[in-house]
Each structure stands twice: as structure tokens, then as C-alpha cells.
Chain A
Amino acid sequence: MATVQRIDMESRNPGDPNEFRDALTHHIANQSGGSVEIHRLEKLSGGAIQENWLLRLSIDESHLAGEHKWVLRTNSQSAVDVSMSRADEYAVLKTVHKAGVNVPEPLWLCTDLSVIGREFFVMQAVGGTAAGHRIVKDDSLVPDGSALCRELGRNLAKLHSINPPNEMLGFLPKPDRDPSLARIEQYRKFLDELPSAFPVIEWGLRWLLANKPDAIMSCLIHRDFRTGNFMVDQGTVSGILDWEFAAWGDWREDIGWLTAKCWRFGNNASVAGGIGDVSDLMAGYSAICPREISSEELRYWQVMAHVRWAIIAVQQAERHLSGQQHSLELALTGRLVPELEHNILSLIGGH
């Protein structure tokens, strides 16, 4: 899942690029109508469910003639069916790109399984880094945290301006009449599917139910919009990544997720993603869309964020324990749960 912490956009697993180099060269030649040479094909790190391959290539005799740096995104070989298909994610990327959200430009989708054996899409590569632990600490990467937060706010506002129904996004589950209630019910269902019980998470859900806000109209939300999932280049956003969890929902869910303590990478004083202040985030947001978030609303959606992350962490550990995907990283994710539970208890008060 994308919520496994991204380490860096540098190569970690060498993989075997030669498996599909020739087929891909041929495919791109067909797409571009030119002659193609792939100079480099390298798997990027991050994402247990998806694989991203960096492609450096040159094309001649085509409207796409020139040197290119693209990213091919596809399901990992061990992928299980837990998030949207690459075709659906491509449609989301096209839609948000059109709405002015800063994302890598989507180029084309390939559903022909004969090319690399899996569905994939190709997008422009963007520069910079997504490494959360560096973004929150390295002033040379982010010289002006306030400006970066305003930019993130503007991007969120543009995303949240996309309302249902949308014919490009017909595959998304229909918007819920009461998005926060729907989340609570969904998380309870997830808990019920687990082999053991989690009293602190239950207590968090009980609090979320007791303090539930009035239902509001759904809009398109990212659902994993946090430090580590956007690329930062020279202090600005070069591209927002990982759209596989996008859904109709309450816009404040994205704000709660981005500002939750678990996504500040230790830089806790900077509430907005470990980068800056919520006031800057919302200043950027309201410049595009006149909305505000109160401190009570923020607290509510931060509790929701920790409850969700805690459940995902338990589910990831369960993937390891059940033998579905043997992985030390997934096993250790289970050990994040007490810290998330601690955040839940701290936020809702009491002891």
C-alpha cells in the first residue's frame, strides 16, 4: 500500500528490466510512430502494490521526437486486488491534471497485457524528492515552508473543486450521503475482519461517532495526500503522486490526513505535514476555494486519520502474518500501532 513510508526515489531493488525492454521499445514506437531507443530502465523504490519504472529514452522521426524522461507505473507482480486498477488511476490522473492539480502529466494508458504482462500507464517524470524525512528537515530542499504549504493548499482546493458526478470517474463508488458516518462504518467492518480486537481503535471510533459533523457534499479527495506522496523540487511541488485511493468524500479528510501527527516525520511543531502551519495551508486553499476549517474540525479529522492509519497498519501486519506477503517491512508496520493509538488517546483527551 502507498502508506508504507517511501524511503527515497532512488533505486533500491535492481529488478530485471530486460524482461520487457524489447516489447516496451516496440510499443512506444507504435505509440509515437517514430524510432525509439530506451537508454535506461530502472525500478524506483516505494510502493508494495505498485511499481514505478524510470524510463530514459530518445525518439526520432515522430511528433514526440527528442529525449524523454518518463515513468511507467504498473502493478507489482505480487499485487493483490486492494486498490483501483491502473486504468482507473490513469483516469483520475487525467481528471485532476485537467483541473490544474500539479501532477506528473499522464501520457497514455496501455491495457494490452502482451506488452509487459501487466496493465500500465506512462507519465512524465518529475524532478526532486518525495522523501518525507528529508523534506521536513532539510532547509535546502524547502527554504520556505510557508510558501510550500500555501502551494499544497492551492492544489488541494483545485482537487476538491471536482464534484460528482463526473463521467470520467464513473468507476468510483457512489458518493456517500454522510461521508464521515460511512468511514466509521467501513472502519468497523475492517476491524471485524481482523483476528483480534483493538479496544483503543474502537474507543477512537466511538468518539468519532459521538462527535460526528453534519453531512456535507462530497468532492474528489486524494485520501493519501501527505508528506512523502508529493515530489518537492527547489522548494516547490513538482508533482502529487499515488492517486490509487482517490474517492468521493469529505474534503476535510484530506486536511486531517496531511496534518496528522503520524505524517509529520518527527517535525511535530509544523502541523501541516511537518512542513509549516495549517494557517498557511488554508490561506493557499481559500485563495482558490473559500473554505475554512476550525480547530475542532481539524482535531476530528486528525483522529479519523490516526484511526485509519492504525487499521491499515494492522491490516499490513496481517498480510505478513497470514502468509499472503511475507515481509519484514509489513511486520514492522504492525508495531507502529501503539504510537498511533497513543495519538488517538491524546487527541480525544482523557488519560
Chain B
Amino acid sequence: MNRPDAPELLAAARETLMNDVFPAVPEHLRYEVLMIASAMGIAAREAAAQSQTEVDLFSEVLPESIAVGSTSSDDARRTIAKAIRAGVFDTPGAQQEKLQVALAETVYNALMISNPKAAQSLRGPRS
């Protein structure tokens, strides 16, 4: 067992970077250090994430072509995108509703990793 795990290591590294290194960083490199800290934060959250996978979500929309366990995430995305472009979900109704739920859920999961602050507003008022 590897301890500390990836999120814990990244958190510790990020803390040292921001608390000890950043104050001594010259002006012209500060943006770079902030980008590094941001990338470490995203990677730490992604390593810790345990959300429902895209395959799970998309298989509920098109169960006949996307199977949990045998379809890859890439293939699931491709299948859904192709069906959208073909107009499969154009008519309002249960099928369109299912798609919208799945899309919103995948975006929410991705935002929880890349931008948790924005994720919290997802279920709030419309933009």
C-alpha cells in the first residue's frame, strides 16, 4: 500500500510550492507558478474522484449500444455524439430528457475536478 496516496502527495507538494516557494518567485515567473499549482490541484482532485463514470451515465441513454464493462469511455462519448448529430434526441420527450440528465451529470463530474466552484453553481440559477 502506497501512503501517502497521490492526492495527499500532491496536496503536500502544492502547499510547499505556494507557502514557501511562491513568495520568493520573481514577478515574471509568478503566473507560471500559479499555473503549476492549479494543475496540481486538478490532478489531486481527479486522483481522488469516485464519480459515476461516463460509460455508466451514457449507457442509460443508449443501453442497446453502450454497455457498462465492455464499452470504453471514448467509444461511449463517440456513440452519443454521433446519435446527437443524427438527430436521435431532437424530439422533446423521455429520450431527450435522459440525454440532458446524462450530459448535465458528466459536466458536473468534470467540473468537480477542474473547477469545483463553478460546479456548485451548476444546479443553481441559469446563466
The interface of chain A, by Cβ under 8 A from chain B, is 7, 11-14, 188, 191, 196-200, 202-203, 205-206, 210, 261, 268, 328-329, 331-332, 335-339, 341-343, 345-347, 349-351
Contact = CB atoms under 8 A, between A and B. Distances in A.
A346 B74 CA distance: 24
Contact of B28 (A12, A331, A339, A341): A12
B44 interface: no
Nearest to B104: A351
B103 to A, nearest CB: 5
Interface string B30-47: 011001101100100000
A343 B77 CA distance: 19
A332 B40 CA distance: 11
Contacts of B122: 342, 346
Does more than half of chain B's interface fall in helix, strand or loop, or is it mixed? helix
Interface residues of B, number: 39
A342 B35 contact: no
Given A206-B90, A261-B127, A7 B31 contact: yes
Contact of B111 (A13, A198, A268, A339): A339
13 contacts: A197-B82, A198-B81, A199-B58, A199-B81, A203-B103, A328-B35, A332-B35, A339-B114, A339-B118, A341-B110, A347-B127, A351-B100, A351-B104
A293 to B, nearest CB: 18
B124 to A, nearest CB: 10
Contacts of A343: 127
Contacts of A205: 85
A328 B42 CA distance: 13
A196 B77 contact: yes
Interface of B: 28, 31-32, 35-36, 38-39, 42, 58, 74, 77-78, 80-82, 84-85, 87, 89-90, 96-97, 99-101, 103-104, 106-108, 110-111, 113-115, 118, 122, 126-127
A202 B81 contact: yes
Contacts of A7: 31
B54 to A, nearest CB: 9
A80 B54 CA distance: 34
A253 B127 CA distance: 19
A227 B100 CA distance: 31
A269 to B, nearest CB: 11
B107 A338 contact: yes
Contacts of B82: 197
A329 B36 CA distance: 9
Contacts of A345: 100, 103-104, 107
A332 B81 contact: no
B39 A328 contact: yes
Contact of A12 (B31, B104, B107): B31
Given A198-B77, A199-B80, A202-B85, A328 B114 contact: no
A200 B107 contact: yes
Contacts of B99: 203
A129 to B, nearest CB: 15
Contacts of A335: 42, 114-115
Nearest to A8: B31
Contact of B118 (A210, A329, A342): A342
A188 B36 CA distance: 32
Contacts of B89: 203, 206
Given A200-B107, A329-B35, A338-B115, 4 more contacts: A12-B31, A197-B78, A203-B103, A205-B85
